[in-house]
Amino acid sequence: MPDLSRRAALAAVAVLALSACAADPEPSPSPSGEPATTATPTPTPRATSSRSSSPTPEPTPEPPPPPPLEWDIDSGASLQAIVNKRRPLNPPDYAPQLVAVSISQDGDELVRPEVDAALVALDQAQRAAIGEGVHVFSSYRSYATQSSIYQGFVNQYGQAEADTTSARPGHSEHQTGLAVDVVGTSGVARLSVAFGGTAPGQWLAANAWQHGFVVRYPNGLEGITGYEYEPWHLRFVGVELATAMTQSGVQTLEEHLGLPAAPDYG
Protein backbone atom coordinates (compact mmCIF):
# COMPACT_ATOMS: atom_id res chain seq x y z
CA MET A 1 0.00 0.00 0.00
CA PRO A 2 2.55 2.51 -1.13
CA ASP A 3 0.05 5.29 -1.65
CA LEU A 4 -1.15 5.09 1.97
CA SER A 5 2.39 5.25 3.35
CA ARG A 6 3.15 8.22 1.20
CA ARG A 7 0.01 10.03 2.33
CA ALA A 8 0.84 9.29 5.94
CA ALA A 9 4.30 10.69 5.49
CA LEU A 10 2.98 13.86 3.84
CA ALA A 11 0.43 14.31 6.63
CA ALA A 12 3.17 14.05 9.28
CA VAL A 13 5.21 16.71 7.48
CA ALA A 14 2.17 19.03 7.36
CA VAL A 15 1.54 18.61 11.09
CA LEU A 16 5.11 19.51 11.86
CA ALA A 17 4.90 22.61 9.67
CA LEU A 18 1.72 23.75 11.36
CA SER A 19 3.28 23.29 14.80
CA ALA A 20 6.20 25.48 13.81
CA CYS A 21 3.91 28.21 12.61
CA ALA A 22 1.87 28.15 15.84
CA ALA A 23 4.99 28.57 17.96
CA ASP A 24 5.85 32.00 16.41
CA PRO A 25 2.65 33.88 15.64
CA GLU A 26 2.61 37.18 13.71
CA PRO A 27 1.65 40.25 15.75
CA SER A 28 -1.98 41.26 15.38
CA PRO A 29 -2.57 44.50 13.58
CA SER A 30 -3.93 47.45 15.67
CA PRO A 31 -7.53 48.46 15.09
CA SER A 32 -6.46 51.67 13.35
CA GLY A 33 -4.25 49.86 10.96
CA GLU A 34 -1.09 51.37 12.48
CA PRO A 35 1.55 49.07 13.87
CA ALA A 36 0.84 48.17 17.47
CA THR A 37 3.00 49.97 20.01
CA THR A 38 3.77 49.12 23.58
CA ALA A 39 1.90 51.52 25.93
CA THR A 40 4.18 53.63 28.14
CA PRO A 41 2.65 54.26 31.55
CA THR A 42 1.88 57.95 32.21
CA PRO A 43 3.64 59.14 35.35
CA THR A 44 1.31 60.29 38.12
CA PRO A 45 1.80 64.01 38.70
CA ARG A 46 3.19 64.89 42.11
CA ALA A 47 0.85 66.87 44.30
CA THR A 48 1.91 70.50 44.77
CA SER A 49 1.17 72.74 47.74
CA SER A 50 -0.94 75.83 47.30
CA ARG A 51 1.59 77.73 49.50
CA SER A 52 4.59 79.42 48.00
CA SER A 53 7.87 77.71 48.53
CA SER A 54 9.26 80.94 50.00
CA PRO A 55 8.18 81.85 53.56
CA THR A 56 5.47 84.50 53.93
CA PRO A 57 7.02 87.69 55.33
CA GLU A 58 5.77 88.80 58.71
CA PRO A 59 3.82 92.09 58.67
CA THR A 60 5.86 95.12 59.69
CA PRO A 61 4.68 96.22 63.12
CA GLU A 62 3.41 99.78 63.53
CA PRO A 63 5.92 102.05 65.27
CA PRO A 64 5.00 102.76 68.88
CA PRO A 65 3.40 106.15 69.54
CA PRO A 66 5.78 108.83 70.79
CA PRO A 67 5.95 109.09 74.55
CA PRO A 68 3.81 111.84 76.08
CA LEU A 69 5.51 115.13 76.63
CA GLU A 70 6.86 115.34 80.15
CA TRP A 71 7.17 118.59 82.04
CA ASP A 72 8.65 119.53 85.37
CA ILE A 73 5.58 121.07 86.95
CA ASP A 74 6.79 120.91 90.56
CA SER A 75 10.00 122.90 90.74
CA GLY A 76 9.70 126.69 91.05
CA ALA A 77 12.64 127.05 88.65
CA SER A 78 10.82 125.21 85.85
CA LEU A 79 9.22 127.20 83.03
CA GLN A 80 6.26 124.82 83.33
CA ALA A 81 5.82 125.05 87.11
CA ILE A 82 2.14 124.84 88.03
CA VAL A 83 1.17 127.13 90.89
CA ASN A 84 -2.41 127.40 92.09
CA LYS A 85 -4.48 127.28 95.29
CA ARG A 86 -3.73 123.58 95.77
CA ARG A 87 -0.12 123.71 94.57
CA PRO A 88 2.10 126.23 96.40
CA LEU A 89 5.33 127.42 94.86
CA ASN A 90 8.28 125.14 95.62
CA PRO A 91 10.09 126.50 97.58
CA PRO A 92 7.58 129.07 98.88
CA ASP A 93 10.19 131.87 98.89
CA TYR A 94 11.54 131.06 95.43
CA ALA A 95 13.20 134.04 93.69
CA PRO A 96 14.16 133.68 89.98
CA GLN A 97 16.81 135.42 87.92
CA LEU A 98 15.17 138.53 86.50
CA VAL A 99 15.66 141.18 83.80
CA ALA A 100 13.81 144.40 83.06
CA VAL A 101 10.93 144.12 80.60
CA SER A 102 12.12 145.39 77.22
CA ILE A 103 8.74 146.40 75.75
CA SER A 104 6.30 149.11 76.86
CA GLN A 105 5.81 148.88 80.65
CA ASP A 106 5.05 150.87 83.78
CA GLY A 107 8.73 151.44 84.57
CA ASP A 108 9.87 148.80 87.06
CA GLU A 109 8.57 145.52 85.63
CA LEU A 110 10.78 142.42 85.85
CA VAL A 111 10.51 138.94 84.30
CA ARG A 112 12.72 135.98 83.59
CA PRO A 113 14.99 136.37 80.54
CA GLU A 114 13.04 133.74 78.56
CA VAL A 115 9.82 135.65 79.17
CA ASP A 116 11.31 138.97 78.09
CA ALA A 117 12.52 137.51 74.79
CA ALA A 118 9.06 136.06 74.18
CA LEU A 119 7.39 139.39 75.04
CA VAL A 120 9.52 141.20 72.46
CA ALA A 121 8.42 138.73 69.76
CA LEU A 122 4.80 138.90 70.95
CA ASP A 123 4.80 142.71 70.85
CA GLN A 124 6.26 142.78 67.34
CA ALA A 125 3.72 140.25 66.07
CA GLN A 126 0.79 142.12 67.57
CA ARG A 127 1.97 145.46 66.17
CA ALA A 128 2.26 143.91 62.72
CA ALA A 129 -1.21 142.37 62.97
CA ILE A 130 -3.33 145.14 64.51
CA GLY A 131 -1.07 148.20 64.72
CA GLU A 132 -0.97 148.24 68.52
CA GLY A 133 1.69 146.86 70.84
CA VAL A 134 1.68 145.11 74.21
CA HIS A 135 2.09 147.02 77.46
CA VAL A 136 3.06 145.24 80.71
CA PHE A 137 1.66 146.77 83.91
CA SER A 138 2.37 143.97 86.38
CA SER A 139 4.98 141.21 86.39
CA TYR A 140 7.24 139.66 89.05
CA ARG A 141 6.19 139.98 92.68
CA SER A 142 8.25 138.72 95.60
CA TYR A 143 6.73 136.75 98.45
CA ALA A 144 6.73 139.90 100.59
CA THR A 145 5.11 142.01 97.88
CA GLN A 146 2.37 139.42 97.32
CA SER A 147 1.75 139.27 101.06
CA SER A 148 1.15 143.02 101.12
CA ILE A 149 -1.13 142.98 98.06
CA TYR A 150 -3.19 140.05 99.33
CA GLN A 151 -3.64 141.58 102.76
CA GLY A 152 -4.85 144.78 101.16
CA PHE A 153 -7.60 142.85 99.36
CA VAL A 154 -8.54 141.05 102.55
CA ASN A 155 -8.79 144.35 104.43
CA GLN A 156 -10.99 145.85 101.74
CA TYR A 157 -13.22 142.92 100.69
CA GLY A 158 -12.79 140.18 103.27
CA GLN A 159 -10.82 136.95 102.81
CA ALA A 160 -13.49 135.03 100.88
CA GLU A 161 -13.77 137.76 98.23
CA ALA A 162 -10.03 138.40 98.22
CA ASP A 163 -9.36 134.72 97.40
CA THR A 164 -11.29 135.03 94.13
CA THR A 165 -9.06 137.79 92.77
CA SER A 166 -5.72 137.68 94.59
CA ALA A 167 -3.39 134.80 95.42
CA ARG A 168 -2.13 134.14 98.89
CA PRO A 169 1.64 134.55 99.27
CA GLY A 170 3.47 131.47 98.05
CA HIS A 171 0.61 130.63 95.67
CA SER A 172 1.04 133.42 93.11
CA GLU A 173 2.19 132.84 89.54
CA HIS A 174 3.69 136.33 89.60
CA GLN A 175 6.31 135.10 92.07
CA THR A 176 7.63 132.67 89.42
CA GLY A 177 8.64 135.53 87.11
CA LEU A 178 6.62 133.82 84.36
CA ALA A 179 3.35 135.77 84.59
CA VAL A 180 2.51 139.24 83.25
CA ASP A 181 -0.58 141.41 83.29
CA VAL A 182 -0.92 143.24 79.98
CA VAL A 183 -3.01 145.71 78.04
CA GLY A 184 -2.70 147.25 74.59
CA THR A 185 -0.40 150.24 74.27
CA SER A 186 -3.51 152.39 73.92
CA GLY A 187 -4.32 151.55 77.56
CA VAL A 188 -7.96 150.73 76.82
CA ALA A 189 -9.68 148.47 79.41
CA ARG A 190 -6.67 148.14 81.65
CA LEU A 191 -7.31 145.60 84.44
CA SER A 192 -10.87 145.03 83.20
CA VAL A 193 -12.71 142.01 81.84
CA ALA A 194 -13.67 144.31 78.96
CA PHE A 195 -10.10 143.89 77.73
CA GLY A 196 -11.11 140.50 76.36
CA GLY A 197 -13.36 142.26 73.83
CA THR A 198 -10.75 144.74 72.59
CA ALA A 199 -8.62 144.16 69.51
CA PRO A 200 -5.47 143.46 71.58
CA GLY A 201 -7.37 141.18 73.96
CA GLN A 202 -8.86 139.14 71.12
CA TRP A 203 -5.58 138.94 69.24
CA LEU A 204 -3.70 137.75 72.33
CA ALA A 205 -6.32 135.13 73.14
CA ALA A 206 -5.99 133.73 69.61
CA ASN A 207 -2.23 134.08 69.05
CA ALA A 208 -0.25 134.38 72.28
CA TRP A 209 0.37 130.59 72.29
CA GLN A 210 2.63 130.96 69.25
CA HIS A 211 5.07 132.78 71.52
CA GLY A 212 4.69 130.48 74.53
CA PHE A 213 1.93 132.28 76.46
CA VAL A 214 -1.53 131.14 77.53
CA VAL A 215 -4.42 133.11 79.00
CA ARG A 216 -4.17 131.53 82.42
CA TYR A 217 -7.63 132.25 83.83
CA PRO A 218 -10.24 131.75 81.06
CA ASN A 219 -13.84 132.85 81.26
CA GLY A 220 -16.24 130.46 83.01
CA LEU A 221 -13.59 128.11 84.39
CA GLU A 222 -13.25 129.52 87.90
CA GLY A 223 -14.15 126.10 89.28
CA ILE A 224 -10.90 124.76 87.87
CA THR A 225 -8.45 127.66 88.15
CA GLY A 226 -9.86 129.17 91.34
CA TYR A 227 -9.90 132.70 89.88
CA GLU A 228 -12.34 134.89 88.04
CA TYR A 229 -11.84 135.61 84.34
CA GLU A 230 -8.67 137.63 83.73
CA PRO A 231 -8.10 138.20 80.00
CA TRP A 232 -5.09 140.36 80.85
CA HIS A 233 -3.17 137.68 82.79
CA LEU A 234 -0.72 135.83 80.53
CA ARG A 235 1.43 132.96 81.72
CA PHE A 236 4.58 131.89 79.88
CA VAL A 237 4.92 128.09 79.63
CA GLY A 238 7.09 127.77 76.51
CA VAL A 239 6.07 127.26 72.89
CA GLU A 240 5.90 123.45 73.08
CA LEU A 241 3.46 123.27 75.96
CA ALA A 242 1.41 126.25 74.75
CA THR A 243 1.14 124.64 71.30
CA ALA A 244 0.17 121.22 72.69
CA MET A 245 -2.44 122.84 74.91
CA THR A 246 -3.91 124.85 72.03
CA GLN A 247 -4.03 121.81 69.74
CA SER A 248 -5.83 119.81 72.43
CA GLY A 249 -8.51 122.47 72.69
CA VAL A 250 -8.22 122.48 76.49
CA GLN A 251 -8.17 125.94 78.05
CA THR A 252 -6.57 125.34 81.44
CA LEU A 253 -3.21 123.96 82.44
CA GLU A 254 -4.85 121.84 85.11
CA GLU A 255 -7.04 120.02 82.59
CA HIS A 256 -4.32 119.62 79.98
CA LEU A 257 -1.84 118.17 82.45
CA GLY A 258 -4.39 115.97 84.24
CA LEU A 259 -4.16 117.85 87.53
CA PRO A 260 -7.00 118.21 90.05
CA ALA A 261 -9.06 121.37 89.91
CA ALA A 262 -8.01 124.05 92.39
CA PRO A 263 -11.14 126.08 93.18
CA ASP A 264 -10.00 126.84 96.73
CA TYR A 265 -7.26 126.29 99.29
CA GLY A 266 -8.84 123.11 100.64
Query: What is the CATH number for 229?
Result: 3.30.1380.10
Model confidence, pTM: 0.74
**Below-50 pLDDT ranges, the chain:** 1-52, 66-67
Task: Give the model's pLDDT for residue 33.
Answer: 39
Q: Which residues make Cβ contacts (< 8 Å) with residue 46, sequence separation at least 6?
A: none
Instruction: Work out how many domains the chain is built from and give that number.
Output: 1
Task: Give the model's pLDDT for residue 149.
Answer: 96
Task: Give the model's pLDDT for residue 70.
Answer: 77
The answer to whether position 153 is within a domain reads no
Instruction: Tell me the residue length of the chain.
Output: 266
Task: Give the model's pLDDT for residue 104.
Answer: 98
Task: Give the model's pLDDT for residue 179.
Answer: 98
The answer to whether position 219 is within a domain reads yes
Are 188 and 196 in contact, with CB atoms under 8 Å apart?
Answer: no
Task: Give the model's pLDDT for residue 185.
Answer: 98
Cα gap 217→235, rounded to integer Å: 9
Task: Give the model's pLDDT for residue 65.
Answer: 55
215 strand-pairing partners: 234
The answer to whether position 160 is within a domain reads no
Distance of CA 175 to the CA centre of its chain: 32
The answer to whether position 225 is within a domain reads yes
Q: Treating both helix axes as pointing N-terminal to C-terminal, what angle do 199-207 and 113-130 enclose, rounded to 10 degrees?
A: 120
Cis peptide before 91 (omega within 30 of 0): yes
Task: Give the model's pLDDT for residue 17.
Answer: 39
87 strand-pairing partners: 84
Domain that holds residue 234: 99-141+171-256
The answer to whether position 133 is within a domain reads yes
Cα gap 128→224, rounded to integer Å: 34
